[in-house]
Structure 1
Amino acid sequence: MAGNGRRPDASTPAGPGADTYVAMVARAEALIPKLRERASKTEDLRRLPPETERDLHDAGLFRIVQPKRVGGSELDYVALVDCADALGRADASAAWNFANLASHHWMLGMFDRHAQDAVWSKDADALIASSFIFAAGRATKVEGGYRLNGHWPFSSGVESCEWNMLASVVSSEDEAEGVEYRIFLLNKSDYKINDTWNATGLRGTGSNDVRVVDAFVAHRMTIAVGDLTGGPTPGSSVNPNALYALPVFSLFPYVLSGVGLGNAQACLDDYVEIARHRASTYNRTKVGDMQSTQIKIAEASAKIDAARLIMRTNCLEAMADARRGHVPNIAAKTRLRRDGAFSVNLCTDAVSLLFTASGARSLFTSGALQRQFRDAHAVNSHLAFNFDAAGTNYGRVALGLPSENLTL
């Protein structure tokens, strides 16, 4: 495997859960062959096949960052990167839905215990979808909670979920109160799913729209974005692990960045394997003997290895900060967002480089390369990986200007 794609042992989280951590990553890696075999079926279905969801459940992967008190593994945050990296080497759509849905167990651990119990006391395996597009919703304060309306796109894996976390702006008659961003936890009985997901990349994620019309959401089933900026949260009383004191939206890119990483690693591994045996159709020269091939392997692997180092280092350092009760300042938070976007852009660049180097072979729909190329660019299209947005905000803060990202 070029670049190995494996974490150095020294960077594996230490402590009482280390064995579980290694076991969970190994379980993700063990699924690679069968998920890769199903990748075309996943695209045709436009959602994960039931057997893939069952495999992820049976492996315990959806619950890697769920609190131990309800049977989760409560692994360090970097587990999302490492497990998505492994699954992404099989199928980016499967990795995307795994990472999305697993991360919502982590976020629910920060809600009021009432919200946690509403979900986990009934079914600790219940899946939770999301759409964190605040402008898509409008909430109004009423006695005991809120009235919520909105139409949210890109709710990945929603067909399989019992619950959904939907982000909204809270309206106020008094403009002096300012804008409030809040996340609302709704049961599937409170929203309608619109089947809209017909996409060129990440085709198997089932990232459909959801619509809410005048739903009442009790206050305890919501959480303010201001409670998710780092430090104690409403859920800290029952989930004291530093995992649930991380700044959510500062680290948001790393929920999904491992998908782009694994997809790029698979693309590189496939390219190397083919180059070892393939002869040029033009002059029958062995492709692996060409200097241009060797240079492209070096460049792509350097980009992927650099991306992995950035992603994992930031996640490990964030956990270390949280354990010592340190909340990063706005400069550090914008750097996390900058690095999250930059590292995924590196992965996309690597895939594009290898796609171009593969010539006409890359055009065949029967091969994995065209899917890896489409998926790489689909991952990169997520706002969290838009370097112009992340870079602009980082530059503003570096220059002493206020951050434009109100969720940090």
Structure 2
Amino acid sequence: MSSTRGYMSASDILASTREIVPLLRQLGDQTEATRRLPSEVVDALTKAGVFRLVMPKAWGGPEVDPVTQIQVIENIALGDASAAWCSMILSGSGFYASYLEESVAKELFGRLDVRAAGSLKWTGTAEKVAGGYRVTGRWDFGSGAHHADFMAAGCQVTENGSPVLTAHNMPKIMWVLIPGSELTIEDTWYTTGLRGTGSDPYTTKELFVPEERAFNFMECKRSEPLYRYTSLSLYRMVGVQLGIGRRAIEVVHDLVRAKKVLLTGSSLGDEQWVQMAIAQAEAILGSAKSYVNDVVGDLWNTLQAGNMPSLEQRAKGVLMIAHAADSARRVMDKMCDVAGSSSIFPSSPLERLRRDLITANTHFLCQQRQYASIGQALLGVEPAFPYF
């Protein structure tokens, strides 16, 4: 396995994440039972270079392009979906660093493998005080919080107890970075799937946060293409669904070679309807992956050329997330149909894969309702939805 000592390229990280798949599968039961990643998994991901994915080259990081980022998360999902989800979240430190002044960013994120997570919701309050803010709040869905060095927390800014307004007479919203050790993590993550992500709520009360650790997602401090478009950081999510779908097909490949048809005694793989289902699943997943690569690649070319993505490109970015989630669901349905009753027992990898996918697809960007906003944008109307 590649070491985190010295520079690691995108190809190094891709190769390393393929190597740790057996370990992730071996520790899958422990991950699920403890509802967080075992230390061996965190160590393996660290050594593989996962958490430095988007650290800037100027700091010695790999600054991996978005298409390859998705491939890295997909590799991890072949081993364990919870590990992939946490990796997707915790590898975003370089994005968080890009919103801070350089000296502050280097102080917090100078170690390339620093892990950062957080919530996109602004459910906290940041009261302005001398030198910074007093932060109080509770934030749901803190995926990776148990392993994070820093957590981002969205807040409405107040002064003397009253909301601070922007020039457009809207409440001022910002995020603060809080050391994970200074937060309280609630134990509520008892879910259908992705149990190992430990996506518990995190809270704090009257915690002082220095002003230099506050930021706005609309005010990036770095000029490199990777950091110029905020929503690009969300695209890695599709690697989880693509990896789950690929793993489901692999499981069924093995199953149909070994399983016999009850009445005839012939191999299940000899059944024409099974062969059709596998071919259809391959087409669905392959098409989804190609669309992801096309959309993300096109947007990345635009950013590299020094331009910001168009409304159509931004809409397709959200579309490819929803479409990948939907495609993985269709693949899973077909593979579980082939497996039949085998798929409902914990002894089958399909049982957990299906639960993990159900849970992953409840993310707001994966839900069917997004198609309305996407269609609106494709018709040329800027939607109110904030993540375009």
TM-score (norm 2): 0.91
Report SS of the residue matched to 1:55.
Answer: helix
Say if 1:399 and 1:321 are closer, same or farther in 2 by CA, change over 3 A.
closer
Q: Distance in 2 between matches of 1:308 and 1:72?
A: 27
Partner of 2:373: 393
Spell out the pairing of 1:8-407 with structure 2 (5 A cutoff). Answer: 20-121=9-110, 123-134=111-122, 136-171=123-158, 172-174=163-165, 177-227=169-219, 233-234=220-221, 236=222, 240-245=223-228, 247-249=229-231, 251-388=232-369, 390-407=370-387
Q: Distance in 1 between matches of 2:342 and 2:21?
A: 23
Report SS of the residue matched to 1:75.
Answer: coil
Q: Distance in 1 between matches of 2:145 and 2:350?
A: 27
Moved more, 101-110 or 355-364: 101-110
Q: Distance in 2 between matches of 1:291 and 1:321?
A: 45
Question: What are structure 1's unaligned runs of at least 5 residues?
Answer: 1-16, 228-232
Say if 1:124 and 1:400 are closer, same or farther in 2 by CA, change over 3 A.
closer
Moved more, 306-315 or 47-56: 306-315
Q: Over residues 182-202 of structure 1, what are the superposed CA-to-partner deviations in whole Å (9 max), with x where a residue is unaligned?
A: 221111244211111111200
User: How much does 1:157 deviate?
Assistant: 1.5
Q: Distance in 1 between matches of 2:112 and 2:384?
A: 37
User: How much does 1:311 deviate?
Assistant: 1.8
Number of aligned residues: 377
User: How much does 1:399 deviate?
Assistant: 4.4
Q: Distance in 2 between matches of 1:200 and 1:311?
A: 27
Q: Distance in 2 between matches of 1:156 and 1:174?
A: 30
Report SS of the residue matched to 1:149.
Answer: strand
Matched letter for residue 216 of structure 2:
A
User: How much does 1:37 deviate?
Assistant: 1.3
Matched letter for residue 288 of structure 1:
G
Say if 1:169 and 1:349 are closer, same or farther in 2 by CA, change over 3 A.
farther
Q: Over residues 88-118 of structure 1, what are the superposed CA-to-partner deviations in whole Å (9 max), with x where a residue is unaligned?
A: 1111011111111012333323322243123
Contact 1:338 1:387 survives alignment (8 Å): no
User: How much does 1:402 deviate?
Assistant: 4.1
Q: Distance in 2 between matches of 1:394 and 1:169?
A: 28
Partner of 2:3: none
Q: Distance in 2 between matches of 1:97 and 1:82?
A: 15
Q: Distance in 1 between matches of 2:339 and 2:178?
A: 46
User: How much does 1:262 deviate?
Assistant: 0.6
User: How much does 1:252 deviate?
Assistant: 4.6
Matched letter for residue 67 of structure 1:
P
Report SS of the residue matched to 1:358.
Answer: helix
Q: Distance in 2 between matches of 1:195 and 1:126?
A: 24
User: How much does 1:144 deviate?
Assistant: 3.9
Q: Distance in 1 between matches of 2:187 and 2:107?
A: 27
Q: Distance in 1 between matches of 2:254 and 2:239?
A: 22
User: How much does 1:52 deviate?
Assistant: 0.7
Say if 1:166 and 1:375 are closer, same or farther in 2 by CA, change over 3 A.
same
Q: Distance in 2 between matches of 1:173 and 1:161?
A: 30
Contact 1:164 1:186 survives alignment (8 Å): yes
Moved more, 192-201 or 173-182: 173-182
Contact 1:64 1:102 survives alignment (8 Å): yes
Say if 1:194 and 1:266 are closer, same or farther in 2 by CA, change over 3 A.
same
Question: What are structure 2's unaligned runs of at least 5 residues?
Answer: 1-6
Say if 1:290 and 1:383 are closer, same or farther in 2 by CA, change over 3 A.
same
Q: Distance in 2 between matches of 1:371 and 1:139?
A: 40
Report SS of the residue matched to 1:89.
Answer: helix
Q: Over residues 50-99 of structure 1, what are the superposed CA-to-partner deviations in whole Å (9 max), with x where a residue is unaligned?
A: 00100111121211211233332211122221011111111101111111
Q: Over residues 4-35 of structure 1, what are the superposed CA-to-partner deviations in whole Å (9 max), with x where a residue is unaligned?
A: xxxxxxxxxxxxx9x92222211111111111
Moved more, 366-375 or 392-401: 392-401
Q: Over residues 214-241 of structure 1, what are the superposed CA-to-partner deviations in whole Å (9 max), with x where a residue is unaligned?
A: 22333321221322xxxxx22x1xxx43
Please give the root-mean-square deviation of Cα atoms over the aligned residues, in Å: 2.1
Q: Over residues 308-360 of structure 1, what are the superposed CA-to-partner deviations in whole Å (9 max), with x where a residue is unaligned?
A: 11222222222211111111133321221122111121112211221122111
Say if 1:367 and 1:45 are closer, same or farther in 2 by CA, change over 3 A.
same
Contact 2:238 2:325 survives alignment (8 Å): yes
User: How much does 1:211 deviate?
Assistant: 0.6
Q: Distance in 2 between matches of 1:115 and 1:371?
A: 41
Q: Distance in 2 between matches of 1:174 and 1:361?
A: 57
Matched letter for residue 164 of structure 1:
M
TM-score (norm 1): 0.86
Moved more, 252-261 or 370-379: 252-261
User: How much does 1:400 deviate?
Assistant: 5.0
Q: Distance in 2 between matches of 1:140 and 1:334?
A: 35
Contact 1:253 1:384 survives alignment (8 Å): no
Matched letter for residue 61 of structure 2:
G
